Amino acid sequence: MTAEALVDLLQLFESAGIEVWLDGGWAVDAVLGVQTRPHKDLDVILRVADLPKFREILADRGFEIRNGGTESNFVLADRFGLEVDVHAVVFDSAGNGIYRMANGSDWVFPAAGFDGRGVIQSVRVRCLSPEVQVLCHAHGYEPAEKDLRDMELLQARFAVELPPHLQRNKS
């Protein structure tokens, strides 16, 4: 997923009135204001209510849903290798994003996390805040080397606290 492709998709969503927040590697790069590594896909968070329009827009661009996933988390891919990993939420009265996981339990994205802002190719974008990006990486899966590096970059720039399993061995 190139920066150009990402910006193109974000502008497409915006023109359709769909708010999306970047998550994952592109969210890290957005808050840092610079692309730090290549990205395989684009991770986005959006409202469950926007899913039908979102899917239609991407279907018109040749994206198809990959096998697997759930109603609130799935991957769309096109024939050129672009992938969009979708995490759909319902906002509660406090502004928290409630995400239904595959196991049926809910993950809560704290409301303050949606205040994140960043820049990709001089375009201002919504993304998860650095603190919530760390929170998301701290639960649910074993971080890869790229995730550890991303978290270190957030720690260095924003002084966010990293749990021990998100720190590389410093010895």
> For the segment 153-166, what is each residue's pLDDT rounded down to a tens digit?
999 999 998 887 77
User: What is the per-residue pLDDT for 136?
Assistant: 86
Residue 133 has pLDDT above 50, yes or no: yes
Q: What is the DSSP string of the chain?
A: --HHHHHHHHHHHHHTT--EEEEHHHHHHHHHTS--S--S-EEEEEEGGGHHHHHHHHHHTT-EEPSS--SSEEEEE-TTS-EEEEEEEEE-TTS-EEEE-TTS-EEEE-GGGGG-EEEETTEEEEB--HHHHHHHHTSSSPPPHHHHHHHHHHHHHH-----GGGS----
Give residue 134's region: left, alpha or beta (phi > 0; psi -120 to 50). Answer: alpha
pLDDT in tens, 70-96: 889 999 999 998 999 999 999 999 999
User: What is the per-residue pLDDT for 170?
Assistant: 53
Six-digit token pair at 56? 């239609």
Residue 102 has pLDDT above 80, yes or no: yes
Q: What residue segments make up the domains of the chain, in order of their start?
A: 3-161
The percent of residues above 70 in pLDDT, for the chain, comes to: 97
Place of tokens 């809910």: 106
Classify domain 3-161 by CATH number: 3.30.460.40
User: What is the per-residue pLDDT for 117?
Assistant: 97
Residue 169 has pLDDT above 70, yes or no: no
